Amino acid sequence: MYSQGLRDSKAGDDSPELLEAFQKRIDNEEKIEPRDWMPQAYRQTLIRQISQHAHSEIVGQLPEANWVSRAPTLKRKLILLAKIQDEAGHGLYLYSAAETLGESRHKMFEDLLSGKAKYSSIFNYPTLNWADVGAVGWLVDGAAIMNQVALCRTSYGPYSRSMVKICKEESFHQRQGYDIMIKMAQGTAQQKAMAQDAINRLWWPALMMFGPSDKDSKHSGQSMKWKIKRFSNDDLRDKFINATVPQAEYLGLTIPDKDLKYNEKSKTYEHGEIDWNEFVNVIKGNGECNQQRMDARNRAYDDGKWVRATAAAYAKKQQKNEKVA
Ligand code: FAQ
């Protein structure tokens, strides 16, 4: 019943019996695999989320790439290059995971390059000083891990397995970012001021990475029922704040939230109001760097045209040779 294959799971096939049996599998913590029957809406939700996630990894290389040529030492440059390459790899695993759902990579690229597809809001902010590279590793990768550790248990097999490897690498990214922050915070007064400036600008955008508040999140309810998401946006955001505030204290830096306070009873931090207008504006394409990011991705795609043409010609030639042999 479940191995009907991709072509059998079309709109209109979602009978109550199939839906009920599918939900039972989810409730029993079974992983859903590419050739299993799945509701169209489950497939579409995954394609949307996984492709947005893949685009984020790819666009997310750009703010850090800004500092490759100006890293302060050869060692820092090597570490940064390795991290950026990891992000490209994450994008590729995720595009592959989305392909198992029947979406073509070409279509996903087209949607990104035309501005139709979303990617994480955080990458539309600039990286203005070297401490931003530390803050991106510490806060952005830190927020990404908080979300992705939960996704290791997501119900779709290929997505879940790709997350396991990605999380191992993100954990190294987070630590290299924190290491930069330690050096800056313990350095000269000017370096410490740069570290504080980075956290002032990136703290709130990092909190926005978790998505709209639970009351405004349109997909969370169904995604949690299908165990695509294991925690709500606000729960993950709170976990991130609770883990990160003590790290900022260790650095001797201040979280730029005058309303942040520790609740002795619940043993958790309560944060101030997030500027949701800013979030909406950025995901609509009006952030500080949206245009710059899109231009860079389109330029890279155009520059790579000859590589794709050569690879396609080579593949065609190989096929022809195989036929002759
Ligand atoms: N930015 O109903 P919800 C990384 C959209 S990886 C832009 O709550 P959902 C690694 C959302 O798509 C970072 N758009 O949606 C790295 C939806 O739009 P739609 C990426 C956002 O899906 C580090 C609408 O708002 N991680 O950083 C954002 O249930 C350093 C309504 O929202 C992932 O993608 C946002 N922040 O929950 C790389 C993790 N938030 O499609 C380089 C996987 C929400 O209806 C350097 N994704 N939207 O038009 C997820 O866990 C989920 O998709 C959420 C959103 C939690 C992001």
Cβ 111 vs Cβ 52: under 8 Å: no
Measured by CA distance, the residue closest to atom 8 of ligand 1 is 217
Q: List the structure tokens of 122.
A: 């955080």
How far apart CA 137 and CA 177 sit, in angstroms, is 4
Categorise residue 42: left if φ over 0, alpha if ψ from -120 to 50, beta otherwise: alpha
How far apart CA 5 and CA 105 sit, in angstroms, is 20
Look at the block and give the residue holding tokens 């592959």: 96
Per-residue pLDDT of the chain (325 residues; tens, 9 = 90+): 334 444 445 555 789 999 999 999 999 999 999 999 999 999 999 999 999 999 999 999 999 999 999 999 999 999 999 999 999 999 999 999 999 999 999 999 999 999 999 999 999 999 999 999 999 999 999 999 999 999 999 999 999 999 999 999 999 999 999 999 999 999 999 999 999 999 999 999 999 999 999 999 999 999 999 999 999 999 999 999 999 999 999 999 999 999 999 999 999 999 999 999 999 999 999 999 999 999 999 999 999 999 999 999 999 999 988 887 7
How far apart CA 276 and CA 125 sit, in angstroms, is 15
Three-point CA angle 222, 270, 246, nearest 5°: 110
Q: How confident is the model at residue 8, as a pLDDT?
A: 45
Pocket test residue of 49, 108, 173, 204 for ligand 1, highest count of atoms within 8 A of CB? 49
Residue 314 counted as domain residue? no
Residue 298 counted as domain residue? no
Atom of ligand 1 nearest to the CA of 208: 36
Q: What is the CATH number of the domain that holds 206?
A: 1.20.1260.10
Residue 30 counted as domain residue? yes
Residue 321 counted as domain residue? no
Residue 308 counted as domain residue? no
Q: Please give the residue range of the domain that contains residue 70.
A: 3-288
Q: Could you give the 3-state DSSP secondary structure of residue 274?
A: coil
Categorise residue 115: left if φ over 0, alpha if ψ from -120 to 50, beta otherwise: left
Q: List the structure tokens of 73.
A: 């030492």
Instruction: Calculate helix-pair angle for 74-99, 40-59, nearest 10 degrees.
Output: 160
Its pTM stands at: 0.94
Q: How confident is the model at residue 37, as a pLDDT?
A: 96
Look at the block and give the residue holding tokens 């942040």: 260
How far apart CA 63 and CA 101 sit, in angstroms, is 30
Ligand 1 neighbour 51 (Cβ under 6 A): no
Ligand 1 neighbour 49 (Cβ under 6 A): yes
Ligand 1 neighbour 57 (Cβ under 6 A): yes
Cβ 206 vs Cβ 282: under 8 Å: no
Q: How confident is the model at residue 323, as a pLDDT?
A: 82
Q: How confident is the model at residue 325, as a pLDDT?
A: 73
Span from the CA of 208 to the centroid of ligand 1 (angstroms): 9
Q: Which of 83, 89, 90, 169 is nearest to 134 (CA)?
A: 83
CA 169 to chain centre: 13
Cβ 180 vs Cβ 137: under 8 Å: yes
Measured by CA distance, the residue closest to atom 21 of ligand 1 is 211
Total domains, the chain = 1
CA 135 to chain centre: 16
Start-to-end CA span in the chain (Å): 41
Residue 227 counted as domain residue? yes
Residue 157 counted as domain residue? yes
Ligand 1 neighbour 140 (Cβ under 6 A): yes
Residue 296 counted as domain residue? no
